[in-house]
Amino acid sequence: MTTPQQVQAARLAELWHRLSAQHIALGCSCGMTGISVTLEDFERDIADYLWAESERTGQEAVVAFLLAPGPLAEQMQAIRLILARLEAGEAEDTVADWLLTRMTRTIESYAELHGPAPEALLLGGSSAWRKGYRT
């Protein structure tokens, strides 16, 4: 049986994938002074935030979950890995709830500022994307 946490993790993973595809496919530049920033640049920052916040608030089970695959600095695409593990049901409910609360706020905020509208097509060429972007 699929849990609500697994459903939420799958939804966030899909949104993260859409945002990543947007930045890679379109070469979006989301920085000032001509600096190009991609979604992957934020993965380690978000993972580091989750780790630091879980340590600061004494969430030992969350820390253990985050570091189970190894040090965050060595985890490729850490956010995708965390979401995949949550979607697979690898986390206790309290760990999943703690992470998903923060990840939902972070990913949805990023999507609201930089992403396509939720109904925008993932595939279909640049015109399909352009029609789906927020203005």
pLDDT tens-digit readout, 51-68:
999 999 999 999 999 999
DSSP string, 32-99: STT----HHHHHHHHHHHHHHHHHHTT-HHHHHHHHTTS-GGG-TTHHHHHHHHHHTT-S-HHHHHHH
The whole-model pTM stands at 0.76
Average pLDDT over residues 98-118: 84
Average pLDDT over residues 76-86: 95
When the pLDDT of each residue in the chain is averaged and rounded to a whole number, the result is 81
135 pLDDT higher than 80: no
Q: Which residues lie closer than 8 Å to 103 by C-beta, 6 or more apart? A: 12, 46, 50, 79, 82, 83
Q: 133 forms bridges with which residues in the sheet? A: 116
